[in-house]
Chain A
Amino acid sequence: MGLSALTISEASTLLDKGEITSVELSQACLNEIEAARELNAFSWFDPDLVMEQAKSADKLLSNGNTSSLCGIPIGIKDLFCVRGSPTQAASKILEGFRPEYESTVTQKLKDAGSVFMGKLNMDEFAMGSSTEHTVYNPVISPWRSKGSEKPLTAGGSSGGSAAAVAADLCLGALGTDTGGSIRQPAAFAGVVGLKPTYGRCSRWGIVAFASSLDQAGPFARSVEDIALLLEVIAGYDPKDSTSYKGEVPKYSNYLTGDVRGKKIGIPKEYRLDGMPGEIEEIWEEGKIILKDAGATIVDISLPHTEFALPTYYVIAPAEASSNLARYDGVRYGYRAALDSNTNIVDMYKRTRGEGFGAEVKRRVMIGTYVLSQGFYEAYYLRAQKIRTLIKKDFEDVFNDGVDAILTPTTPSPAFALGEISDDDPIKMYLNDVFTVTVNLAGLPGISVPARLDSKGLPLGLQLIGRPWEEGDLMNLAQSIESNVQFNHKPQRWW
């Protein structure tokens, strides 16, 4: 096994003992990134910049720095502003943009001495569930169905992050999750992905999609690594007005393995007609694991679940249409080439018409429509009210003593690239059916690999927790992880 396949905690121990250096570890990752160009997981990287950081990290380590992330190679979704590095949100409209500032969470990673490996591919502006809607080439999953060479999706929108961690291109990665964009790709790629409580990680310096739903979070190969990453990236930030002031616990201390007496809810509304049998089976297995570990399993109801997707697809595009108004061809990024007598409105329209991809245009137009005069109450205000009801569904079960909710992460395993046609947006949206409720309610959610299906593709289980209780949530997730012993890696074909 190469160094790049280590978990963060394993690598950190070896670095602390001086048995390996960050230069060796980072070089091993660079070699893998070079060899895996076909996956299109990284959209940009700079070997010199990587080595420079690795050398600094080695200096810190030899001076006794014991931060668990010091010297650890981490990939960053293209949605985060990293000072001086291309940041495009996988959109043509941000062509050439190199931010002069750093997002709060990537700054925290740098302060901890981690090595920024480069930018990871994604769906444009995080709008999508397959990482096909990108100005770069689509991400190809390192996983393939048994006996098939058909390229599969790594999920989306953080598909590059999931693929990079699964294919050992880096030890951990950052993604963002607005409706499932961390958990769904994590499930498809057989890695762990956490969406923290809304407000836990600062949104400052992250290209905004839907501000009341967006949340940054980590990808890694173990729950313990997720805890180590969250400890660093979480925390109050005065630059984000919705940032949470509460303290950040030492999450790794929560991973005791003791889940006795925890009450786990199984929501009946998540049992969908036509759901593959294997999804039902992993859900059942998850229940048994937690029950055997001493948790109590209870049936619960979240009655407004079926309205979550349409609610999301009113609110998210509405916020997106407002957030994306800033891309006007004036201050940064792409500007359409025009003749001298073009007026300013045409300049905006041409720039945005040429700069945005099809899915982004679609969502901006939907958002514009639902916010426009005469429709605001019928769509947006109504959706905001239903969002209250969806959140209340969760509050009610938590008030009844439920500690966490167990569901499958996705209604299906990874699908083939191109399988979901561009003119059937609703079909693509259905991928988020189990994850989107969590964003609407602002809750933390984690996806852990459960097992491979009959075709050899990973399936994930999702745990949804109480607000701010990521520690307990990760402890439960680790209980599943240690029981299923998911040690599968994609068969290397690239």
Chain B
Amino acid sequence: MGLSLDEARKVAHLARIHVEERELPDIANELSVILDFMEQLNEVDIEGVEPMTSVTPMKLRLRKDKVTTGGEKDLILSNAPLPEQGFFSVPKVVE
């Protein structure tokens, strides 16, 4: 199944990955090859089969809704590329 340039552009946008227009044909092509490879999955009869959602048979554990850690603002911000006045910073999102 071939992916069109529009579809490749859309998937790059959804993945939040910038790609140049000139790169799109190669990307569309590479993704198409991989999707083709996946087509074999259509040969399998999956009627009545449950999807696997847990690798080992175990219940997801619950814990008490209690604060266990906190107050580590400086540690948390220590790796931020552009921290400002004790906050993470992002480009303006509201006018």
Contact = CB atoms under 8 A, between A and B. Distances in A.
A112 B34 CA distance: 44
Nearest to A96: B79
Interface residues of B, number: 52
Interface in A424-471: 425-426, 429, 442, 467
Contact of A313 (B17, B34, B49, B63): B34
A361 B26 CA distance: 13
B80 to A, nearest CB: 6
Interface string A358-381: 000110111111101000000101
Contacts of B30: 362, 423, 425
B58 A347 contact: no
A349 to B, nearest CB: 4
Nearest to B72: A100
Nearest to B48: A385
B87 to A, nearest CB: 10
B50 A333 contact: no
A379 B38 contact: yes
B38 A368 contact: no
B5 interface: no
A412 interface: no
Contacts, number: 168
For chain B, what secondary structure do more than half of its interface residues adopt (helix, strand, loop), or is it mixed? loop
Interface residues of A, number: 73
Contacts of A425: 30, 33-34
Contact of A369 (B35, B55, B78): B35
Nearest to A344: B91
A401 interface: no
B51 interface: yes
Interface in B46-70: 46, 49-53, 55-56, 58, 60-61, 63
Interface of A: 96-100, 197-199, 212, 238, 241-242, 244, 304, 306-307, 309-311, 313-314, 321, 325, 328-335, 338, 340, 342-350, 352-354, 356, 361-362, 364-370, 372, 379, 381-389, 391, 423, 425-426, 429, 442, 467
